[in-house]
Structure 1
Amino acid sequence: MLPRVGDGPKERLRSLYLTGETTIIACKADPRFCYTLYIPESAWDEPDQELDLLVSVHGTMRLQSLYRDAFSGFGRFNNCMILAPLFPVGVRGDMEAGGYKYMVEGEIRYDEVLLAMVREAGDLIGRSFEKFMVFGFSGGGHFTHRFLYLHPDRLKAVSIGAPGSVTLLDETMDWWPGIRNFSEVFGRGIDFEALKQVKVHMSVGALDTEDWEITFPEDSPKYIPGANSAGKNRNDRLHRLRETMETRGVDVWHDTVPGVAHDARGVFPYVERFFTDVLKGRLPAPGAR
Structure 2
Amino acid sequence: MTAPATASSQLEDAAAIARALYDLGPTPVIACKADPRFSYCLYVPKTLGQGGEPPELVVAMHGTGRGFTGYRDAFEEFARWNNCVVLAPLFPIGVLGDDNRDGFKYMREGEIRYDHVLLAMVDEVAQRYGLSFDRFALFGYSGGGHFAHRFLLLQPQKLWACSIGAPGSVTLLDPTRDWWVGTRNMAQLFGVAPDIEAMRQVPVQMIVGAADLETWEITHKQGGRNWMPDANHAGATRPERLASLQKSFEAAGVSVRFDLVPNMAHDGLRAVPRVQDFFADVLARRRGGAAKAA
**Range class of TM-score, shorter chain:** over 0.9
Corresponding residue for residue 67 of structure 2: 63
Is residue 2:254 matched to residue 1:250? yes
Partner of 1:143 in structure 2? 147
Deviations 1:95-143 (A, max 9, x none): 1000000000001000000000000011111011001000000000000
Report the residue type matching 1:76 in the other structure.
Answer: R
Secondary structure, aligned partner of 2:85? strand
Deviation at 1:41, TM superposition (A): 1.6
Q: What is the identity percentage for the equivalent residue pairs of Structure 1 and Structure 2?
A: 53
Matches of residues 123-134 of structure 1 in structure 2 within 5 Å? Answer: 123-134=127-138
Residue 198 of structure 2 aligns to a residue whose secondary structure is helix
Give the AA of the match of 1:85: P
The answer to whether the 8 Å contact 1:144/1:159 transfers is: yes
| 1:31 and 2:26 aligned | no
Ranges of 4+ aligned residues in structure 1 off by more than 4 Å: none
Give RMSD over aligned pairs: 1.3
Q: Is the 8 A contact 2:54 2:131 kept in 1?
A: no
Structure 1: distance between partners of 2:171 and 2:148 = 11
Residue of structure 1 in register with 2:276 after alignment: 272
Do structure 1's residue 216 and structure 2's residue 220 form an aligned pair? yes
Q: Distance in 2 between matches of 1:221 and 1:83?
A: 29
Q: Secondary structure at the match of 1:219?
A: coil
Corresponding position of 2:174: 170
1:156 to 157, 160, 185: 160
Structure with the largest fraction of helix: 2
Aligned to 2:29, the other structure's residue is in SS state strand
CA contact (8 A) 1:44 1:125 kept: no
Rounded to whole Å, the distance in 2 between the matches of 1:125 and 1:50 is 11
Q: Do the aligned partners of 1:257 and 1:266 also contact (CA within 8 Å) in 2?
A: no
Q: Tell me which residue corresponds to 1:186.
A: 190
The equivalent position to 1:105 in structure 2, one of 105, 109, 117, is: 109
CA shift for structure 1 position 281: 2.0
1:43 aligned onto 2:48: yes
* CA distance in structure 2 between the aligned counterparts of 1:260 and 1:99, rounded to whole angstroms: 27
Query: Secondary structure of 1:100's partner?
Result: helix
Report the 3-state secondary structure (helix = DSSP H, G, I; strand = E; otherwise coil) of the residue aligned with 1:44.
coil
Instruction: State the Cα distance separating 1:50 from its structure 2 match.
Output: 2.3
List alignment gaps of at least 5 residues for structure 1: 283-289
In the TM superposition, what are the counterparts of 1:80-91 in structure 2 within 5 Å?
A: 80-91=84-95
Q: Which protein shows a greater Rg?
A: 2
Measured in 1, the distance between the counterparts of 2:234 and 2:122 equals 32
Does the alignment pair 1:122 with 2:102? no
- Alpha-carbon separation, structure 2, partners of 1:129 and 1:274: 20
Structure 2's unaligned 5+ residue stretches are 1-8, 287-294
CA distance in 2, matches of 1:44, 1:14: 13
Instruction: Tell me, yes or no, if the aligned pair for 1:65 and 1:84 is still in contact at 8 Å.
Output: yes
Aligned residues: 277
Give the counterpart letter for 2:64 in structure 1.
Answer: T
Following superposition, the deviation at residue 45 of structure 1 comes to 2.2
Most deviating of 28-37 and 263-272: 263-272
Matched, 1:18 2:23: yes
